[in-house]
Amino acid sequence: MTSANLVEIDNVNFAYDSQRTILRGINMTIPQGKVVAIMGGSGCGKTTLLRLIGGQIKPTSGAVRVAGQTVHELKEDGLYALRRKMGMLFQFGALFTDMSVFDNVAFQMREHTDLPEEMIRDLVLMKLHAVGLRGAHRLMPSELSGGMARRVALARAIALDPMLIMYDEPFAGLDPISLGVIGQLIRTLNDALGATSILVTHDIMESLKIVDYVYFVSEGVIVAEGTADEIRASKMPFVHQFVNGEPDGPVPFQYPAPDYATDLQGNGRA
Amino acid sequence: MAVLDTLTSGLRTLGHKVIEGVWRIGFAARFFFAVLMYSGTAFRRFNLTIREIYFTGVLSLIIILISGLFVGMVLGLQGYDTLQRYGSSEALGVLVALSLVRELGPVISALLFASRAGSAITAEIGLMKTTEQLSAMEMMAVNPIARVVAPRFWAGVMSMPLLAAMFSAMGVIGGYLVGVKLIGVDEGAFWSQMQSSVDVRLDIVNGVIKSFVFGIAVTLISVFEGYDADPTAEGVSGATTRTVVTSSLAILALDFILTAFMFRGVG
Amino acid sequence: MNRATIDLWVGIFVTLGIAALVFLALKVGNLASFGNEPMYAVSAEFDNIGGLKVRAPVRSAGVVVGRVTDIQFDTRKYVAVVSMSLSQKYQFSKDTSAQVLTSGLLGEQYVGLQAGGDDANLANGDRIKITSSAVVLENLISRFMFNSAEKTGQTKGETN
């Protein structure tokens, strides 16, 4: 069972308080070795799902199992042991600004292993080479462009060869070239490391090129799921609207760039 | 009716503030215990703490030394002016040394430390939170309290007494320069009266204890405000301001309490 | 910032801090006197100690030889019992007398010791027998006024 599905999300509900329910009855399975995308508009609870998998928050009810372990039942030691096998790419990279690119990638190796410094150097350069930034290892994060920072963060996320890599909005705010580079890296690194990847994104065109399976989340529930081809061919109004980026459809507020009038209304209510 | 409404809403605001305040104190206390519990890393990998001593202690050195010198010089001038009216200008050394060692050294250096190093700690941790660096660390199975907060806390606690001692020493030198070299108070009387009146245990050790307590309070407030800051630009700037305000008030209040206990019944 | 540079600066910082503490302890304070010297305790009873305080100096011929460690009131004899700790360096004869004195007219009060001629010396726990109390300024003034009033009375009587 664990060999087939690395992550299982079983009827999960999550709410910060009684008024604001973020997730309702989510069921997901993420098979070993696949790249799975979770899509939906901003604020629909995608990032919350990643936090649940990483054990940073506990579900209100239901269970998240990673590699057969129920995440929210783990003690701190167990949780940290599990997290060592996970890598996460944060939305804007979240590089440690007081450390060089090299030290950022070396961070986990130094924290969690007793490897000699020469070996760490080789490993770091290998990871940086994989994302094409071996030449930048002396730079500080403030000297990097957005796309480069994202790639360094990716190198850092795979530093300990994780079994599960999570990406929080890996495409946000990137130029088309960087977008393509990151997309390719996600796929090739996943296959090269034999890892499993979860992508949280609203960039449908880029994701459909690389993912195996897609979940659509809207207002805390899964509204559609399927393989990339099924999604492209889907006749469901919501998916159709999302894939083609139509401004008007069944869920106008879910459109990634809401139109002016909706935006104003949304602000007025808040 | 309108008066009643205003009164009710006023009371409600007050109640809300009190509950929030109490909740925050409880949260801060739990945070303090967490910092102590996860302090192992700060000592096992002491170079992490050394790095923070550089940022909190060494970078505060200039402001502390210069302020100490000037405060001592002012004490020398003002003290002489008052003492010579009573014909006891030789007691200038005593006045300068006791005011510095007991009060001004620990208090002023702690106030300077709060605005120089404390605000920097808050801003740094707050920004790390805003840019998700703390979350990233957590996801890399590294506890941010152990890796980020505890070394900064201990660095501050260790730096503070040293800075206060330097402040007092510089102040005594400043008082000496003005009193003896400039005004011409007898040098022998200046030092000997000082030495016979300043007690090592009662005055100097108590001063060090004070600065140690201030160090704990200021750095705890700084790391707490940073860690608790809203992850936005406004949140961080608000937290930085709160660090300076809360630390200053805490220093002065603690100073009163400590003084009341330490110098009770001492002539 | 280079690791070695940071280490160097922190080293300088700690050295300066400790130097400041040592300066305070030795030059500003009086750690040099009675730091860890062996001491011995004696006590004395006074009818009146005036404003004597704990930690006041004990002097003999102007030299500080010890400190007052404790002051108690004896409710049976209605006297003040002053405990002192004297440096082992300074030995005093058994018939040494103690006196509460004031340095200057309004200065701090201290215990003055006046050595006697006995061959045996005071030992730890001994009590000084011969004491004289503090001069209380009010008493002094009233006695002076009483005396002078008496004198004026006499002179008046003679002239009458």
In chain C, which residues touch B (CB < 8 A)?
Answer: 1, 3, 6-7, 9-10, 12-14, 16-21, 23-25, 27-32, 53, 55, 57, 64, 108
Is the separation of the CB atoms in B79 and B96 below 8 Å?
A: yes
pTM, 2 dp: 0.78
Show which subunits contact B, needing at least 3 CB pairs below 8 angstroms.
A, C
Residue A213's H or E segment, with its range, is: strand A213-218
Give pLDDT, residue A2: 42
Q: How many angstroms away from the CA of A82 is the closest CA of chain B?
A: 8
Give pLDDT, residue C109: 80
Query: Is A209 a residue whose pLDDT tops 90?
Result: no
Q: pLDDT class for A248, splitting at 50, 70, 90?
A: low
Residue A234 is classified by DSSP as -
Q: What is the pLDDT of residues B153-202, one digit of tens each?
A: 999 999 999 999 999 999 999 999 999 999 888 888 888 888 878 888 78
A97 is written with which tokens?
Answer: 């600004």
State percent of chain B over pLDDT 90: 64
- Concatenating the DSSP letter of every residue in A2-51 gives TTTEEEEEEEEEEESSSS-EEEEEEEEEEETT-EEEEE--TTSSHHHHHH
3-state helix/strand/coil string of B62-88: HHHHHHHHHHHHHHHHHHHHHHHHHCC
Is the separation of the CB atoms in A212 and A195 below 8 Å?
A: no
User: In chain B, what residues touch C15 (CB-CB under 8 Å)?
Assistant: none
Is the separation of the CB atoms in A183 and A196 below 8 Å?
A: no
Q: Which of residues 176-205 of B touch C (CB under 8 A)?
A: 191, 194-196, 198-200, 202-204
Q: What is the pLDDT of residues A85-134, one digit of tens each?
A: 888 888 888 899 888 999 999 998 888 888 898 999 999 998 898 888 88
Residue A100 is classified by DSSP as -
Least confident among A200-209, B60-69, C66-75: A200-209
Residue of C nearest to B61 (CA): C13
**Could you tell me if residue A55 is left (phi over 0), alpha (psi between -120 and 50 degrees) or otherwise beta?**
left
Q: What is the pLDDT of residues B88-117, one digit of tens each?
A: 888 888 899 999 999 999 999 999 999 999
Within 8 A by CB and 6+ apart from A139, the residues are A100, A101
Q: How many angstroms away from the CA of B202 is the closest CA of chain C?
A: 10
Q: Which of residues 145-204 of B touch A (CB under 8 A)?
A: 147
Q: pLDDT class for A270, splitting at 50, 70, 90?
A: very low
Give pLDDT, residue A267: 59
Is the separation of the CB atoms in A7 and A30 below 8 Å?
A: yes
The strand pairing partners of C83, in sequence order, are C43, C70
What is the Cα–Cα distance from B110 to C100, expressed in whole angstroms?
42
Q: pLDDT class for A266, splitting at 50, 70, 90?
A: low
Sheet holding A5-15, edge to edge: A21-31, A5-15, A61-66, A69-70
Is the separation of the CB atoms in C149 and C119 below 8 Å?
A: no
State percent of chain A over pLDDT 90: 7
Is the separation of the CB atoms in B65 and B168 below 8 Å?
A: no
- Tell whether B61 lies on the interface with C, counting CB pairs under 8 A: yes
Q: Which amino acid is at B60?
A: S
Mean pLDDT over all residues of chain B? 90
Within 8 A by CB and 6+ apart from C44, the residues are C81, C82, C84, C98, C111, C127, C128, C131
φ/ψ (deg, to 5) at A254: -80, -10
Which of A99, A107, A154, A166 is most worth mutating to test chain B (most B CB atoms within 10 A of its CB)? A107
State the alpha helices, DSSP H only, in C24-160: 137-159
The strand pairing partners of A224, in sequence order, are A216
Mean pLDDT over all residues of chain C? 82
3-state helix, strand, coil in chain B (%, to 5): 90, 0, 10
Give pLDDT, residue B171: 95
Q: pLDDT class for C58, splitting at 50, 70, 90?
A: confident
Query: Is A252 a residue whose pLDDT tops 60?
Result: no
How buried is residue C14: exposed, middle or buried, by Cβ count under 10 Å (0-12/13-18/19+)? middle
Query: Is B40 a residue whose pLDDT tops 60?
Result: yes
Q: How far, rounded to the nearest angstrom, does the alpha carbon of residue B215 sit from its chain's CA centroid? A: 5
Give pLDDT, residue C159: 54
CA angle, residues A150, A154, A156, in degrees to nearest 5 = 115
Q: pLDDT class for A1, splitting at 50, 70, 90?
A: very low
Give pLDDT, residue B216: 95
Is the separation of the CB atoms in A64 and A52 below 8 Å?
A: yes
Instruction: Quote the ipTM score.
Output: 0.83
